[in-house]
Amino acid sequence: MGRQRTQPRCARCRLLDTDCVCALLWPVASRTRVVLVPHVREWRQPSNTGRLAVLGLWNSELAVWGRRAPRLDPSLLLREGETHLLLHPSEGARPIEPIEGRVRLLVPDGSWRRAGRIARRLAALPGVQPVRVDVGPHARLRRAPSPDKVHTAAAIAAALEALGDVDAAAALRASSAAMIARQLSARSSTP
C-alpha cells in the first residue's frame, strides 16, 4: 500500500481548500500592533489560530521562533516610543487594561510549553510588561491545561477589545469562529 495522498490546502490559511477561510479575512486596521511570535512547528499547523491575526490585521507582524527558523534576535521586536505588552498567562502577568499611546502586543504562540519558553525570553527584554486576558467560554480545537487557557486568536481578540480596538477584536473573533467550526466539522466527517 502506497503513501496516502493529502488533500490540497490553501497556501494562505493552511486549511483544506474546501474549508478555506480566506474570503472572511478582510484586513482590519487596529491601533495596537500585534506581533505574533510563533514557534516554527506551531506556524506550520493548520489549526494555528494566531495565523488569523497576521492575515486579518493590517499592522500585524510575524517573527517565527525556533531552531528550524532563521535566528531571531528578540530585541528587534521592540520599538522606541511604544509600550510593549507580552500577552501570556504566566505568573506575574497583570490583567490587561487600556493604555494611552502606541502599543505593541507581543504574542508567543505554540504548545503551552513552547509558548512559555518564548514568553520567558521576551519577558526578559527591557520594558516588556507581561499581561493576561480573561476570556469567557469559547470553542476549542485542542485540549488546554486549564480552563483559563485559550487559543491564540481568542486571547488576541480579548486583548484588542480591552485596549479599545473593538472592530479588530470582532473581526478576529468572527474569522476564528469560522475556522474552528469548519475544522470541527471536517473532523466529525472524517471516517
- Can you read off the three cell numbers belonging to residue 116? 512559555
> What's 59's domain CATH number?
3.40.1280
Top mean pLDDT of 23-27, 58-62, 178-182 is at: 58-62
Domain-embedded: residue 181:
yes
Instruction: State the Cα–Cα distance between residues 145 and 142, nearest whole angstrom.
Output: 10
Domain-embedded: residue 169:
yes
Compute the average pLDDT of residues 134-141: 58
- Can you read off the three cell numbers belonging to residue 133? 486576558
Domain-embedded: residue 1:
no
pLDDT digit string (tens) for 141-187? Answer: 445 555 567 889 999 999 999 999 999 999 999 988 888 887 777 66
Confidence label for 190 from pLDDT (cuts 50, 70 and 90): low
Task: Give the count of beta carbons closer than 10 Å to the beta carbon of residue 57.
Answer: 24
Domain-embedded: residue 151:
yes
Domain-embedded: residue 118:
yes
Rounded to 5°, the CA angle 93-39-145 comes to 55
- Can you read off the three cell numbers belonging to residue 135? 476570556
Domain-embedded: residue 157:
yes
Residue 30, domain extent: 24-135+147-186
Confidence label for 119 from pLDDT (cuts 50, 70 and 90): very high
Q: Which residue, 125, 135, 128, is CA-closest to 105?
A: 128
Domain-embedded: residue 3:
no
pLDDT digit string (tens) for 61-85? Answer: 999 988 766 778 888 889 999 999 9
Domain-embedded: residue 37:
yes
Number of domain units in the chain: 1
